[in-house]
Amino acid sequence: MPFTPDEIADCVLEAFGKLPNKAKPRPTENGRREWVPLAGIVATRKGKVLGCLSLATGMKCLPHVHMPKCQGKILHDCHAEVLAIRAFNHLLLQSVSALIDELNRNGTIRGNSVLLACRTENTVNSLHPQPFAIQDDIELHMYCSEAPCGDASMELTMDSQHDATPWAAPESSEEPPLALNGRGHFSQLGVVRRKPGRADAPPTHSKSCTDKLAMKQCTSLLSAQTFIFISPRNAYLKSIVLPVSQINNKSMTRAFSASGRMAPILTPLDHFKPSGFSFRPFTIMPTKREFQHSRRVAPADEKLVPSNLCAVRAGKLDELIVNGSIQGFKKGDIRSVSRLSRHKMKCAAIEAAFWYVGDDDSRPRCPDLFLTKDSWKTYRKFKKDDAFKLRRKLKDQVKDKALKGWIVNDGDDDWPQEEEEEEEANPDNGDDEKYEDDYDHEDDRRNAAFDTEFAGDSDDLVFMKKSVPTKVEDVEGFL
């Protein structure tokens, strides 16, 4: 008997239940209850639920104007779905590192990890060069406690009594209405939307979760960092499980399916099949389960407060994130940098690539996959490396034919990669206050020193390393 959608939901809800209380919404000082969306990725094998691979809560997003200040160290998009996918990629990188470690120690990999298998020499080629793949009998599912923001939830938003007001921010007349802002322009359906923000704050350039999930039906769940090592072939979502009340069939069909706005991409994607890519639409499955911190658990007359806390768990990774950084550390302190940030994920990928290739590039498999040293100098160069050429081309096709109006959230791409091993160790000497004031993201020497210090430590260090204040200063403009 195959698993049910309720089992997928239960798997994520139970994993959330095991988080410490400080990771969960709690009453505000004036006694009002908080709500937050929850998302998680679950693996199944042969009809049985294997477990929750990653989960995240969150609903905040950084305005585009703040991108240049991030330097790869602040998360831009903290919606639960996006964080859960980033955390899943972090878990995959950990698995890759463990397999490579075994390869280097024993000269061979004797078995597979729980999730990954080594691809055989005769299936690896220049178009499909990754050494690892998610095992053939594993299927991936996502549970979300709320309908994804953007096109898939437009009708729900319109129908909702206490959430029906269109966001007041007028669309700028200077800006062509390519990616529509948040919940404005109800009349336009099937379009790419940016994440909603406060009406009085600058806009975000982060695409809605609907649009990001629609894109992942083409590119797979893999990020650029994991795509270096893992074939996209088995890395697609099989289903998304949502509470019954969060499913509007018309919206879901329009937003995600081959009979909706994704239709024009079907034929073009055929050309990418030799590389492990294809259009893999997920099914939407209803569950009767409700998340205890959803906004629907309160009586209609109780106004809930959105939580600004994100909890993330995946394998050994445990983080509490506020305003895109680890809670409890000051802005500019490297300990505030999430392991899901561009900076840390790129560091982890580079480290694994070094281990895999060795000193002399002598390992023969998939030599084209590993990036040239020059491409590690900045994040922009990393993303532009030839290793991602096909993936970029595929994304361009999807944007051109199906997700028209997709805008790039640029401005946080040109930070340099620190040569961490060349930095002197410079442990915390207690002058965080001073550092916070001068933090300009130009001189990353101190940050690199912290990275060196923490590189070999357990992930547990990140989780509540020191006592966490109940109130964390808001980063200006973080919505």
How near is the Cβ of 339 to Zn ion at its closest, in Å?
Answer: 21
Decide: is 15 part of the binding site for Zn ion (CB under 5 A): no
How near is the Cβ of 102 to Zn ion at its closest, in Å?
Answer: 38
Q: At what angle do helices 209-219 and 249-256 cross, to 10 degrees?
A: 50
Contact 183, 123 (CB under 8 A): no
Tell me which residue has tokens 């969060």. Answer: 246
**List of E strands, 177-290:** 180-181, 193-194, 237-243, 283-287
Closer to Zn ion by Cβ: residue 89 or 113 = 89
In the region spanning residues 61 to 80, those forming contacts with Zn ion, defined by CB under 5 A, are: 79
**List of E strands, 20-85:** 34-35, 38-45, 48-57, 59-61, 77-79
**List of E strands, 91-147:** 116-118, 132-134, 138-144
Closer to Zn ion by Cβ: residue 79 or 399 = 79
How near is the Cβ of 69 to Zn ion at its closest, in Å?
Answer: 22
How near is the Cβ of 25 to Zn ion at its closest, in Å?
Answer: 17
How near is the Cβ of 444 to Zn ion at its closest, in Å?
Answer: 31
- DSSP state, residue 353: H
Q: Provide CB contacts within 8 A for 174, sequence distance 6+.
A: none
Contact 276, 176 (CB under 8 A): no
Decide: is 149 part of the binding site for Zn ion (CB under 5 A): yes
Map residues 245-284 to x or -, x wherever contact with Zn ion holds by CB under 5 A: ----------------------------------------
For residue 54, what are the β-bridge partners?
41
420 is catalytic: no
Map residues 75-104 to x or -, x wherever contact with Zn ion holds by CB under 5 A: ----x-------------------------
Between strands 34-35 and 132-134, the pairing is unpaired
Decide: is 38 part of the binding site for Zn ion (CB under 5 A): no
Give me the DSSP letters along 135-178: -TTEEEEEEESSPPSSGGGHHHHHH-GGG-SPPSPPPPSSS-SS
Stretch of 143-151, 177-185, 365-373, 380-388 contacting Zn ion, by CB under 5 A = 143-151
How near is the Cβ of 150 to Zn ion at its closest, in Å?
Answer: 7
Closer to Zn ion by Cβ: residue 210 or 452 = 210
Report d(CA 39, CA 339) in Å as an integer: 18
| Cα angle, residue 61 at apex, residues 446 and 75 outer, rounded to 5° | 25
Closer to Zn ion by Cβ: residue 79 or 86 = 79
SS3 82: helix
Closer to Zn ion by Cβ: residue 81 or 423 = 81
Lookup: tokens for 332: 């500019």
The candidate with the shortest Cα–Cα distance to 366, out of 357, 375, 378, is 357
Stretch of 47-55, 203-211, 251-259, 370-378 contacting Zn ion, by CB under 5 A = 203-211
Report d(CA 400, CA 122) in Å as an integer: 34
Closer to Zn ion by Cβ: residue 69 or 195 = 195
Contact 230, 116 (CB under 8 A): yes
Tell me which residue has tokens 């506020």. Answer: 322
Contact 245, 382 (CB under 8 A): no
How near is the Cβ of 182 to Zn ion at its closest, in Å?
Answer: 10
Decide: is 193 part of the binding site for Zn ion (CB under 5 A): no
Lookup: tokens for 125: 């080629």
Stretch of 103-111, 161-169, 204-212, 410-418 contacting Zn ion, by CB under 5 A = 204-212
Closer to Zn ion by Cβ: residue 39 or 387 = 39
Question: Out of 7, 14, 81, 121, which one is annotated catalytic?
Answer: 81
Tell me which residue has tokens 């995946």. Answer: 314
How near is the Cβ of 118 to Zn ion at its closest, in Å?
Answer: 35
Contact 308, 25 (CB under 8 A): no
Decide: is 209 part of the binding site for Zn ion (CB under 5 A): yes
How near is the Cβ of 37 to Zn ion at its closest, in Å?
Answer: 7
Report d(CA 117, CA 108) in Å as an integer: 13
SS3 57: strand
Stretch of 103-111, 128-136, 207-215, 242-250 contacting Zn ion, by CB under 5 A = 207-215
Stretch of 5-13, 147-155, 165-173, 415-423 contacting Zn ion, by CB under 5 A = 147-155
Between strands 48-57 and 138-144, the pairing is unpaired
Determine the size of the site formed for Zn ion (CB under 5 A): 3
Closer to Zn ion by Cβ: residue 183 or 261 = 183
Closer to Zn ion by Cβ: residue 183 or 446 = 183
The contact set with Zn ion (CB under 5 A) reads 79, 149, 209
Residues forming the active site: 81
